[in-house]
Amino acid sequence: MHKLLVLTKYPNEYRIWIEKANLPDLEFVSHPTANCEIAFGEPNRIRDALAALPNLKWAQSIWAGVEPLLDISMRQDYTLTNARGVFGGLMSEFVFGHLLFHEKKIGLHLQMQKEKRWDHADSGMLRGKTIGLLGVGSIGAHLAEMAKHFGMKVRGYTLGSETSKQVDQYYHGDQLLEFASGLDYLVSVLPRTKDTNKIVDENLLNALPPHAIFINVGRGNVVDESALMDSLNQKKIAAAVLDVFEKEPLPEDHPFWSTPNLQMTFHTAALSYPEDLAKVFIENYRLFVQGKPLIYQVDFEQGY
């Protein structure tokens, strides 16, 4: 029997979905034990349990980002897999919902309704616009596909990979400003790694046209927050939508709360569903018992 420890805020929400799959040779344990081989849950809870799991062979994260487990001072003698394929659809709904909110001027129409003002307010459209994706992994690929459904042009900036066929043009390395030039929308889905710190800085923001909208649904470290504030205050870009921040929850005295044309959500762009994450575990467990390589493995060095 393989002993599984579920480490999430509401472990039963996940356990019931895993139990339904009737997986072979699987036994749930409620607390860290020496002979527990598998952990499934939030990376920070797995980190806190690591010392009590000397025989851990595999940890399945329910998040895409696994920063809590990447510190080089920590054990990395087990297979770490993260959650993929789960967040793309949710992120697409968030990103295109917010882009359409801006283009269709939904806020303005609500205001006009309040004022009983019947008027042909000009609204824009996604069709024909150019979206730039900072990072094109499984989430970026989903965004690229949805952008094509809306008739948009898609650019992608990645370290080197060019996996999504929906991206019209890829950019790498020192092509960042070229990538940004002329974008209507810039969307970051980059993870927190040592290479992604403050990629969205003054130079990148200055390369965007003044009507551009920036959305960050990746990680907060990617943005130079004071440069973004300057850019919005000086109307160098039109708007920003941020779901992630350098410090979360965002401190109450942070100027972002009232920066003009900055709209925020609270790291809730893609709240996942236990059923979806249980599926990822189940798929990987079947590989695990057959001794096959797991999918969605994290490279501890790269960080994703």
Closer residue to a copy of itself in complex, CB, 3/109? 109
Decide if residue 165 touches a copy of itself (CB under 8 A): no
17 touching a copy of itself, by CB under 8 A:
no
**150 or 300: whose CB is closer to a copy of itself?**
150
Q: Is 238 in the site for a copy of itself (CB under 8 A)?
A: no
Sole binder of a copy of itself in the list 28, 54, 266, 301 (CB under 8 A): 266
Nearer to a copy of itself, 112 or 294 (CB): 112
Residue from 113, 226, 234, 297 that binds a copy of itself (CB under 8 A)?
113
- Say how far apart CA 19 and CA 96 lie, in whole Å: 35
Which positions are annotated as active-site residues? 219, 248, 267
> To the nearest whole angstrom, how small is the minimum distance from the Cβ of residue 80 to a copy of itself?
26
User: Does 100 engage in binding with a copy of itself (CB under 8 A)?
Assistant: yes
Shorter beta-carbon distance to a copy of itself: residue 45 or 180: 45
**104 lines the binding site for a copy of itself (CB under 8 A):** yes
Asked if 276 and 86 count as a contact pair (C-beta separation under 8 A), the reply is yes
Measured from the CB atom, the residue of 10 and 30 that comes closer to a copy of itself is 10
Nearest to 158 by CA among 177, 139, 173: 173
Kindly state whether residue 120 participates in binding a copy of itself, applying the rule CB under 8 A: yes
One-letter amino acid identity for 294? L
Phi, psi of 40 (to 5 degrees): -140, 120
Interacting residues with a copy of itself (CB under 8 A): 89-90, 92-94, 96-98, 100-101, 103-104, 106-107, 109-110, 112-113, 116, 118-123, 125-127, 145-146, 149-151, 248-250, 252, 257, 263-268, 271
